[in-house]
Amino acid sequence: MKLLVAFDLDGTLAESKQRIEPEMAGLLAQLLDRVAVAVISGGDWPQFEKQVIAAIPSAARVERLFIMPTTGTKLYRFEEGQWRAIYAEIFEPAERDHILKSIDTAFATAGLADERIWGERVEDRGSQITFSGLGQEAPLDAKKAWDPDFAKRKALQASLRAALPDLSVNIGGSTSLDITHSGIDKAYAMRRLAEHSGISTGDMLFLGDAIYPGGNDDAVRAAGMDTLKVRDVQETITAVGAMVACLPVR
């Protein structure tokens, strides 16, 4: 029996940057009665507050909930009546400046500068810098249409990997690239989770919608950990409902 279930956020628990729906929130609360739960995503803590924390029922056992922003380079736990940052792997100022300059160069070279955007394209999340092709506030329909074949993001990724060989540059959401310290992916997040939870990765299950070659959830499968690929939020609801029905309260 698994002791912890970990989830990707966007496309798995909720639509991109949207608050999780009441049905999902209720199921997560029931799951927390049975096992520990983690949510891992490229977004920063404020995004988790809006999408996850604000939606979880007040009676849920949130002391069992691990929130892992910026692909696990940060960890938040509920302790002594409030959410606290347990760790954060922050870029040095010189690293940050070099990354930002490299993004500007790669983007101009790709010829994407004239596209319509919604909000800022580059967000400094401290331990991760994220580039969003259409801006941080782009509507969901525009995001889905922007790069369905990954061609734009893969070209930008190749350019940035050449410019930033000592860092990780990974495809994030439907329009984004996430830049972190080397070796950072969701498998890294799961290993960090094992360190801080005391639960081995063999006793964990990870659910994500991008568990396929090149997908931003696939590192967990490639590392040999147990995964369950879901197509969308509705399939996650079905999976979590089955877990709640089968697992004992403890």
Residue partners of 231: CB distance under 8 A and separation at least 6: 209
Read off the pTM. 0.85
- Statement: residue 112 has pLDDT above 80: no
Confidence grade of residue 206 (pLDDT, cut at 50, 70, 90):
very high
Topology of domain 4-89+184-246, per CATH? Answer: Rossmann fold (3.40.50)
Same fold, 4-89+184-246 and 93-181: no
Place of tokens 């499968």: 221
pLDDT in tens, 166-180: 999 988 878 899 999
CATH number for the domain whose boundaries are 93-181? 3.30.1240.20
pLDDT in tens, 43-92: 999 999 999 999 999 999 999 999 999 999 999 999 999 999 999 999 99
What is residue 53's DSSP assignment?
A: I
| pLDDT at residue 214, as a whole number | 84
Q: How many CA atoms lie within 13 A of 77 on its CB side?
A: 10
Q: What is the DSSP letter of 94?
A: H
Q: Can you give the residue ranges of every domain in the chain?
A: 4-89+184-246, 93-181
- Per-residue model confidence (pLDDT) at position 173: 79
Would you place residue 158 in the very low, low, confident or very high pLDDT band (cuts 50, 70, 90)? Answer: very high
pLDDT attached to residue 116: 84
Q: d(Cα 209, Cα 123) in Å, to the nearest integer?
A: 24
For residue 12, give the nearest of 157, 142, 128, 173 by alpha carbon: 173
Mean local confidence (pLDDT), 216-241:
97
